[in-house]
Structure formats: C-alpha cells, structure tokens
Structure 1
Amino acid sequence: MSDNLNISAERRTEFGKGAARRIRRADKVPAVLYGHGTDPIHLTLPGHDTMMALKMSNAVLSLDVEGEEHLALAKDVQRDPVKRFIEHVDLVIVRKGEKVIVDVAVYVEGEAGPDTVVTVDNATLQVEAEATNIPENFTVSVEGLEAGSQILAGAVELPAGTTLITDPEALVVNVTQAISEEALEAELAEAEAEAGIEHEESDEEAAEAAEGESEGDAAAAEGESAGESEDA
C-alpha cells in the first residue's frame, strides 16, 4: 500500500496534436480527469513528478488543480513505444472509502524443487479494493515445490479489505518437470520430421561421415586380405 502522491496540475485550454507536442517539449504531460458525473477536465501535469508517480501501478494521485483538490486513479498511461516517455494520462476521480476494480501484479519468490520449471500463467490478479488502499503487488512462494504443484488464484493471500475478482480456479503458477536435453533434442527432431524439415549436412558432420566410411572400407579390406591369406 502506498500514500497518495501530490501533483500540481494546470487546466489545459489548447488541444490537438500540435498542442500536445508543445506541452511535451515543455517537459509536461497532457492528461484528462473524469468520473463521478463530472465533465472531463483537461489538464497539464509536470513531467518529472508524473513520471516518478506513475512508476507504481494503480497510482492514486492527490491533484491540486489550481486550488481544487481531487483524488484520481491513473487508469490509462500512454507511452512512446520507443523512448517510453509518457504521452498522455487518463485519470478517474475516486473518493476515500470508494472501492475500485484493478489489476495487481503477482511476484514469485523462492526456489522450487530440483529439476523443475516454474511458469507464471497469470502475472496479474483482478481485485476489488479501496481506492486509497490498493495493494502494490501480491507475492507467492514456490519454495521447495515439487513438479506437479500448482498455485491457483484462490490460494493467493490477499490483504484485509481486498476481494478477488479473478476466477479462484484460475492457474497462477505451474510447477512442471524439467525436460532433459536429450529428450528436448528428440522432441525437436520428431517435430521437424513431421514438418518435413531437412537440415543440410555440416562440414563437420560430412567429415565424420567420410572418416567413418574410410574406417569401414579399411576394415573390409583387412577382412578380404585375411580371407585371401587363409585360402592360400
């Protein structure tokens, strides 16, 4: 659980791509605030403070909008696909004590039993929690678990006041037997054969094959010589 993050915001009166680019060049972030039946409020947020605040998922911001106080949950954060800077933020107004439905990350800790593979099938769980008391993450332990062990959503420990929305039978973590290198190569070869994939013989394999043929020819020649000697 984290404290609310204080952000000073300004009302935005310019719209469109050109205006958004000018806002970003000034190290600010365009945003929109909506919810609870209010008209959308277009905002400009300080770039660095917003970036730091939104490093946490489900961040709840305490916004000072030119003297008006709002609590807001970051619902959608749009980032540049290459540079990863924040392009736009959608914020929804929340109230203290109000419950919201959010996705919370699941972290795995510990080391499972020998010769096992741990797979995370659901990296997040959907839960209902108080807007001002959203869990930062859930932690599940796989310490010592043997192959065949599974952790379902319903088995993940939730803090008081948090209700699971995800299906309790949903698989979160699956522990399976590690496959040996020989078995993996055999499966790969079988799959390639079924797909009709043929590999060209490498120079090393060709050399080994030629060497084997030479040794075979030499052995056959020795056998023939021995046979001739016995006939003589």
Structure 2
Amino acid sequence: MADQIRITAEKRAEFGKGAARRIRRADKVPAVLYGHGTDPVHLTLPGHETMMALKHSNAVLSLDIEGQTQLALAKDVQRDPVKRFIEHVDLVIVRKGEKVTVDVVVHVEGEAAPETIVTVDHGELTVETEATHIPESFTVSVEGLEAGTQIHAGEVELPEGVTLVTDPEALVVNVSQAMSEEALEAELAEAEAEAGIEQEESDEESASAEAAEAPAEGAQEGEGASSEE
C-alpha cells in the first residue's frame, strides 16, 4: 500500500485553456476535486510534488485546502503525449473506511521452465478495497512452471480486505511451449507463400545450387565427347 502524500492545494477561480496554460507555465498543475455529492472544486497543485506523488498508480493524496484536510484519489491523470508532463488531474473525494473500485497492476516474477513462453493476458485486475489501503500491485510467480500452465484471476493471491471484481475465470498468465527454430521458419515460409512473397536465395544457397549443377554439366560434356569419338 502506498503512503498518503500530503500536498498543499490552492483553490482557483480562473478556468479555460488560457488559465490552464498560465498555471502550467508556473510549474503547477490544474486539477478538479469532486465526489460525495459536492460541487466540483477547481484547484492548483504544485508541479513537482504532484508529479512525484502520481508516479504511483491509484495514489491517495492528503490535500491541504485552505487549512482543511481532504483525502482524494487520483482518478484520471492527463499527460502531454510527447513531453509526458501532467496537464490535468481529476481527483475523487474518499474517506477512511470507504470502499473504492480500482485497477491494480499485475507483476510477473520468476523464470518458467526452459523452452516456454510466458504471456500476460490481463496486466491489471479490477478490485474493491478500502480507499486508504489500495495495493500498489499484485505479484504472480511463474517460477518453474511447465508449458500448458494457466493462472486465472481467481488464483491470484489478494491481500486481506481486497475483493476481486474481475471475472475469476479471466486468464491472467499463460505458459506455452516455445516454437522451435525449424517450426518457426516453416510457419514463416508458409505465411510468405500464402501472401505471394518470393524469398530471394542467400549467397550460401546460390553457391550450393551452383556446386550441385557443376558435376551434372561435366557429365553431359563427357557424354557428348564420347559420342563424337
């Protein structure tokens, strides 16, 4: 569980794109706080502290708003697609003991059996948990697992007080047999043939073909000379 991070927030009265740009130029982040039937409150958050806090998924912030403390869950974080700085944050009011539904990332650790491939089908699980006790991640071990092994959502170990919302039968991790190099080349050749792609001969293949043709040509010449005699 991630610690609650205390951040001093300022209420703001300016809205719109122009106001948001001015806030970002001052190394701050525009945000809105809502929930529990209250009117949305528009805030300005300190840039660096907010960036560090939101490195954790499902971060719960302890906001100091004009001397009043309010717990809030970061529900939606909008980032610049190129520079990745935070453009805007949606915050939802939460209270101690309150249950929330969140997506928690799944981390896979360990090495499966040799010549296997590990595929993660569900990288996140949706769970219900107390707002102040949200797990940072769930760990699934594939150590030594053989090909054909599957781990479903209902088999992932969850901390006490955390309830699975994702379908228990949903496939999380699949361990399959790795394809041999020969089989992979054959499958690739078949796919290229179906697509009408002609593979050019390599230098080695060309040399081998020429070497195979040379004796045959020599034999033909010898036969011709014998007949002329």
TM-score, structure 2 normalization: 0.94
> Deviations for 1:124-175, whole angstroms, at most 9, x for unmatched residues?
0000000000000000100110000000000000000000000000000000
Aligned partner of residue 18 in structure 2, secondary structure: helix
The 2-side partners of 1:68 and 1:219 are apart by: 100
CA drift at 1:188: 0.8
> What is the count of residue pairs matched by the alignment?
229
2:65 alignment partner in structure 1: 65
The 1-side partners of 2:210 and 2:19 are apart by: 72
- Asked if the contact 2:2/2:56 (under 8 Å) is kept, the reply is no
Given residue 16 of structure 2, which amino acid in structure 1 is its aligned partner? G
1:77 alignment partner in structure 2: 77
CA drift at 1:215: 4.2
1:228 alignment partner in structure 2: 226
Moved more, 90-99 or 208-217: 208-217
2:115 alignment partner in structure 1: 115
TM-score, structure 1 normalization: 0.93
The 2-side partners of 1:173 and 1:77 are apart by: 28
2:12 alignment partner in structure 1: 12
CA drift at 1:59: 0.2
Q: 1:114 to 1:201 in 2, by over 3 A?
A: closer
Moved more, 12-21 or 150-159: 12-21
2:101 alignment partner in structure 1: 101
Given residue 140 of structure 2, which amino acid in structure 1 is its aligned partner? V
The 2-side partners of 1:17 and 1:217 are apart by: 80
The 2-side partners of 1:72 and 1:37 are apart by: 14
2:179 alignment partner in structure 1: 179
2:140 alignment partner in structure 1: 140
The 1-side partners of 2:193 and 2:157 are apart by: 46
Given residue 83 of structure 2, which amino acid in structure 1 is its aligned partner? K
1:88 alignment partner in structure 2: 88
CA drift at 1:28: 0.3
Given residue 169 of structure 1, which amino acid in structure 2 is its aligned partner? E
Aligned partner of residue 154 in structure 1, secondary structure: helix
CA drift at 1:47: 0.3
Aligned partner of residue 148 in structure 1, secondary structure: coil
Aligned partner of residue 197 in structure 1, secondary structure: coil
Aligned partner of residue 199 in structure 1, secondary structure: coil
Structure 2, unmatched stretches of 5+, are: none
The 2-side partners of 1:20 and 1:215 are apart by: 81
CA drift at 1:213: 3.0
Moved more, 211-220 or 18-27: 211-220
Structure 1, unmatched stretches of 5+, are: none
1:152 alignment partner in structure 2: 152
Residues 1:33 and 2:60 are matched in the alignment: no
Given residue 121 of structure 2, which amino acid in structure 1 is its aligned partner? D
- Asked if the contact 2:112/2:146 (under 8 Å) is kept, the reply is yes
Given residue 24 of structure 2, which amino acid in structure 1 is its aligned partner? R
Given residue 66 of structure 1, which amino acid in structure 2 is its aligned partner? E
> Deviations for 1:80-135, whole angstroms, at most 9, x for unmatched residues?
00111100000000010000000000000111001100000000000000000000
